[in-house]
Chain A
Amino acid sequence: MRKDLKRLDKKIRRNKSATKNKADNTNGGYKDGDQMVDLFKDFKEHSIAEFFKKNRQMLGFSGPARSFTVIIHELVTNSLDACEEAGILPEIEVEITQLAEDHFKISVKDNGPGIPEKYIGKALGKMLAGTKFHRYIQQRGQQGIGASGCVMLSYLTTGKNTIAISCFDKVRKEYEIGIDLKRNEPILRKISEQPTEESGLTIISEYKELKYEKSNKGPFEYLRRTALANPHATIKLKEPDGTVSVFPRSITVNPPRPFEIKPHPLGISAHDLLEFCQRYAKDYRKLSSLLQEVFSRVSANKVAELRTIVPDVDFDKNPALVNWEEAEKIVNAFKKVKWIAPSMDALVPIGKEQIEASFKNIFNPEYLVVTERSPKVYRGGIPFMVEAAIAYGGGIAAAGKKGEIMRFANRVPLLFDTSSCAITETIKTIDWNRYNLKNFEEEPIVVLVNFVSVYVPYASTGKLAIAPEEDVMDEIKFAVMEAARGMQRYISGKRKTMELATKKRLVMRYVPQLASDVAFLSGEKKEKIEKKLVEIIESKYSKEVEEEETKEEDNQNEEKESEEEVDVNE
């Protein structure tokens, strides 16, 4: 089943690339490509709406509760990207109004640059028209179904068009946007136009077949986590019951813009290679020069090496003429060559201090550990990084969080498909007993994992779970264990302190009675004896804390070392 979805996913992506590269798509004769062109024809003939209706779940719009969160996700992600790209600190307002049992109006407003009239139709009224597809750059989403998908869902469930208000270049323009489902073309009608000092985009759309849930998978939690992973953004939410929540930003600098990198030969599949050949056929006459220019770490020497590994492949042929078999051979040959590791500087994590600030701001936990780890590579060629944080007690307890895992991919909260996600699966294998957290599920604890990569290996098209890549799982494990060790030190220290405090309290409660009896026996003053006794107890129990803590630290260090060894062996 999942294989089917993957294939379909590929087809969609291919289809989209076909649309985008229509001009230079010379219909390069590979089998898979042919099938996809056929499929794309099917869309046109049977209307994109029907395809969408049938395959809604593939885009994440499955089930009334999940669809709700996905809509919020698509619109808010668009807003965040737009603001960051324009160098504006994001300020996003989400307002949800319930119109009937399953009928909602959703308004998402940002302070981004707005969209020029020329592009607004395409951006919101044409499926798969985004600019994000298949670039080796760290980004929130990887497909362009986003906002236009919402516009379509709105139309399909309510028959209504979406209202978009774009404040761009000092002009406020209000539009009604629909999609010509037969032609997959936007239908745009301008409602008003007036000058403004503001900038930004507001999208107001209605939906049916939705269910608002205040659960761990609902819009509130989605936005809270988005705010957590995006400390530079201020996010406001008005819920159907009128509750207004504000998650204010905790830092006032946008994260650095991730930049695009050339793919590393070890990180691509035959399918990817073919696509590059198709896309860049007009730029490079020879396959060998395309390989050297489009991919990183491929030099003339390396091409020569490839030639000797697969002598039957003609590296001088026109890239457009490369077929599936050849692509497969080349990709297999890639695996036999020793490559320099890919460049890691394209990764932009949230950052240790930023996560700390953000957690304090949003949850104010009693204790927080954030790990800082260096980038790694999976599949030999794709750089990635894992950020992990464990927050304990305080606001975490107040928020009712117990043993909760917060998954993120490039700062985007992953709320669904929990069981198939590499993050959940990995954390499940951790023995919390080792970290003095016997009842992980019952403790006021949140584990945050942010997977950062130029290419996120999603487990399915819904993009809400990370595929269980071995390198990725290992790194997640190490990151979480590192944080857990920090937490363990705190918790055991805290337990010790609490035990001592309990002891002290117990002894203290006997002091007045004892002082009065000893005073009566000896004939001395009760007050004097009591005061001195309190002093003795105070100094004894504070001393014990210090002594025991130092001992504890030493033990921990030893343990840590031995544990590290175990990790390696595992």
Chain B
Amino acid sequence: MNKAVLEKLRSLGKKITEEIERGESPTFETPLRTKANTIYDEGLGCLRIGDKKETRKFLSMSQAKTFMQTMAIAAKTKKFIEEELHTSIRGLFYQLKFTLGEDIEEDLFSEQSESNALIEDLEVALGIKREDLNLTTDRKGFVAGNMIIKDKFGGEETIIDCSKQGRSGWSIPSDVDNDMEIKKVEANYVLVVEKDALWQRLNEDKFWKKENCILITPKGQSTRGTRRLLRKLADMNLPIYALMDCDAWGWYIYWTIKTGSMNLAYLGRNFAVPEAKFLGVTMSDIEEFPFLKKLTIKAKEVDIKRAEEMLEYPWINKHKEWVKELKLVLKTKQKIEQDALQGERLTFVGEYIKDKIEKKRWLP
């Protein structure tokens, strides 16, 4: 049971009770989660929410309902924590989807989108994450490598050895903090590959065993659980290397891992890995490995647009390597997928990675 989170919820209730006692309209203060209030923190190396705050009042026509709904979520999740039960955000929505009274034709919540947004408000206002409120998200992402995990779940403790998960790997849960402990990691670095297919390739090749690394795939965009796990591994001084497609999605996935995303900027440093390095695939690889020349694809409009946008972001354009890379994309209007690395030989990927790391040929 997360006592600190319980205390935060209790304090929130206490503050509101005091306001009511004083005869004031109860208020709820939450940082603004707008684009304008999203800033890149040079010191932290990631995106975070700025100082602008919004005070929601119960005695306001436009905010009364939201206010009540926010407290309903707070109270309900407090109950989850006390009962040591977890549910998804959809499960929470159904817990709160009921009519406000016998003769009132209005539900506390009628759309899940309402409760989703308010969960984020609570997270940022209380400086906690939804997993702390016993709210789970879908799992996605797999691990193989010399890592031992202690998982306390449903009243039982299980020891998981990520090196003994065969072809499937250990599936990263939505919460890697509460009742979850990394007992032991014996590795030189962490390798994140965008696609499951490539993860399976490297697993079959015993790459992680040979290289003594932790092999992770987020299977596309990283879940919160995956990002937290990466953060924790980075905190253990393991270098984090990423191998992505050389296209809009690949870059987006990488930068989300590294600095966080605009949408989830409120998550801040606990979910960001500024230390991460981008191994590839890069435009210069095409020059390096002639066989790749034939394997490029014409960049789509979304890729071009994305590249242009990235050149605008200060946390990206401060790296001259990235500016060069992105300009090359805009010039050649080509992109290349990581799968292309298997174009000549299936086992080429491993060599490519080793070479890149050895020669420190990555993008920051």
Interface residues of A (CB under 8 A from B): 503, 506-507, 509-510, 512-514, 516-524, 529, 532-533, 535-537, 539-540
Contacts and interface: CB of A to CB of B under 8 A. Distances in A.
A522 B71 contact: no
A540 B25 contact: yes
B71 A518 contact: yes
Nearest to A532: B20
B66 to A, nearest CB: 10
A514 B13 contact: no
B59 A529 contact: no
Contacts of A514: 26, 58, 67-68, 71-72
B23 interface: yes
Contacts of A517: 68, 71-72, 74-76
A536 B59 contact: yes
Contact of B101 (A509, A518, A520): A509
B100 A510 contact: yes
B17 A529 contact: yes
Contacts of B299: none
A535 B14 CA distance: 19
B112 to A, nearest CB: 18
Contacts of A513: 68, 72, 100, 108
B17 A518 contact: yes
A522 B59 contact: no
Contact of A536 (B23, B64, B74, B100): B23
A502 to B, nearest CB: 9
A509 B16 contact: no
Interface string B89-133: 000000000001100101010000000000000000000000000
Nearest to B6: A521
A522 B12 CA distance: 7
A532 B26 CA distance: 11
Contact of A510 (B9, B24, B68, B75): B68
B33 interface: no
A516 B13 CA distance: 11
A516 B75 CA distance: 9
Contact of B21 (A523, A532, A537): A532
B78 interface: yes
B100 A520 contact: no
Given A507-B64, A537-B59, A521 B25 contact: no
A520 B14 contact: no
Contact of B23 (A507, A516, A519, A535): A535
B13 A521 contact: yes
A539 B22 CA distance: 13
A539 B59 CA distance: 11
A509 B61 CA distance: 12
Given A514-B71, A519-B17, A522-B13, 5 more contacts: A510-B68, A512-B101, A520-B78, A521-B74, A524-B17
B13 A540 contact: no
25 contacts: A507-B59, A509-B100, A510-B64, A510-B100, A512-B100, A513-B100, A513-B108, A514-B67, A514-B71, A514-B72, A517-B75, A518-B13, A518-B17, A520-B13, A521-B9, A521-B74, A521-B78, A522-B10, A522-B16, A522-B17, A524-B13, A532-B20, A536-B59, A539-B23, A540-B25
A110 to B, nearest CB: 55
Contacts of A521: 9-10, 12-14, 16, 71, 74-75, 78
Contacts of A518: 13, 16-17, 20, 26, 71, 75
Interface in B118-173: none
B25 A536 contact: yes
Contacts of A532: 20-21, 23
Interface in B1-54: 9-10, 12-14, 16-17, 20-21, 23-26
A206 to B, nearest CB: 59
A100 to B, nearest CB: 55
B5 to A, nearest CB: 12
Given A512-B101, A536-B23, A506 B17 contact: no
Contacts of B68: 510, 513-514, 517
A535 to B, nearest CB: 7
B104 A507 contact: no
Contacts of B206: none
A523 B13 contact: yes
B65 interface: yes
Contacts of B298: none
Nearest to B75: A517
Nearest to B21: A532
Nearest to B104: A509
A1 B106 CA distance: 65
Given A506-B61, A533-B20, A523 B72 contact: no
B79 interface: yes
